[in-house]
């Protein structure tokens, strides 16, 4: 199975999200082999988008989450609120939150722990900056992010976890990772997680690629067995481009069936 996660970020309001959700579901229509689809609209649109995706093949995801269930935390959204909205997935540790909004590994670990406690599927983002890659530190950086995110946590299986490898230097730049670079990192992520959770085979950990995913490069990523799917940002709010990415995933699934 291949998974496509649409991260709409802060690009659309409620009415636009409803229209985009309808268009996104249309990309699945008539296809024999369809990927797993997760739609992550802004918080304000979760309730309305839920009505659109209900009883469809798509799941509803959130773009962030508090590590607290409730309390005096102005502006935060808790996993308990997600339960009422039918949210099943949550993106945590996105590079924009790490590098623009100052989230630390410790904060992300608390969010991962709380999400798993509430039976949410975690989409954990990891990745290095250009300076770190130029210095040859990309493996060490990603390993540290992974180990800190799961510090102190016990996991019996990997079904509630996606790891999204998003090199920071590729996000929103139009410059995606080369396939060999991406494959090397995906293999490394699976190895690190298997060493951390020895009872879980490396093959069970699902690793996605994100970072300037477009119709032009989606197929070359998705056709690789080490790539379990893609996390799509800018192209996910451009329905024609997103349709082509879904088509690429369907072609891969058909070829593999």
Catalytic machinery residues: 94, 166
Q: Which of 2, 6, 3 is nearest to 235 (CA)?
A: 6
Query: 58-62 and 89-92 as β-strands: parallel, antiparallel, unpaired?
Result: parallel
Distance of alpha carbon 108 from alpha carbon 93, whole angstroms = 6
What DSSP designation does 163 have?
E
Phi, psi of 125 (to 5 degrees): -95, 135
Per-residue b or e along 119-149, where b marks 16 or more CB atoms closer than 10 Å to that residue's CB = ebbbbbbbbbbeebbeeeebbebbbebbebb
Phi, psi of 145 (to 5 degrees): -60, -40
Distance of alpha carbon 246 from alpha carbon 238, whole angstroms = 12
Distance of alpha carbon 185 from alpha carbon 201, whole angstroms = 17
Distance of alpha carbon 45 from alpha carbon 31, whole angstroms = 27
Query: 3-7 and 36-40 as β-strands: parallel, antiparallel, unpaired?
Result: parallel
Please report which helix (H) or strand (E) contains residue 56, including its range.
Answer: none
């Amino acid at each position: 199975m291949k998974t496509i996660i649409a991260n709409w970020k802060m690009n659309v309001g409620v009415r636009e999200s409803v229209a985009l959700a309808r268009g996104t579901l249309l990309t699945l229509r008539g296809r024999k082999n369809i990927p797993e689809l997760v739609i992550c609209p802004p918080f304000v649109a979760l309730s309305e988008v839920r009505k659109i995706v209900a009883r469809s093949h798509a799941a509803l995801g959130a773009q962030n989450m508090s590590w607290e269930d409730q309390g005096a935390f102005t502006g935060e959204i808790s996993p308990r609120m997600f339960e009422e909205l039918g949210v099943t997935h949550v993106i945590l540790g996105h590079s924009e939150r790490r590098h623009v909004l100052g989230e630390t590994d410790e904060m992300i670990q608390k969010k991962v722990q709380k999400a798993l406690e509430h039976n949410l599927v975690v989409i954990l983002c990891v990745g290095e900056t250009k300076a770190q890659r130029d210095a040859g530190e990309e493996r060490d950086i990603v390993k540290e992010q992974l180990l800190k995110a799961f510090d102190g946590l016990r996991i019996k299986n990997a079904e509630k976890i996606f790891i999204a490898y998003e090199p920071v230097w590729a996000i929103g730049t139009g410059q995606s990772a080369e396939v060999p670079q991406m494959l090397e990192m995906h293999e490394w992520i699976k190895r690190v997680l298997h060493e951390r959770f020895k009872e879980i085979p490396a093959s069970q950990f699902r690793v996605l690629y994100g970072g300037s995913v477009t119709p032009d490069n989606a197929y070359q990523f998705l056709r690789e067995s080490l790539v379990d799917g893609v996390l799509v940002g800018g192209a996910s709010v451009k329905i024609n481009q997103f349709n082509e990415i879904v088509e690429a995933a369907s072609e891969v699934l058909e070829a593999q069936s």
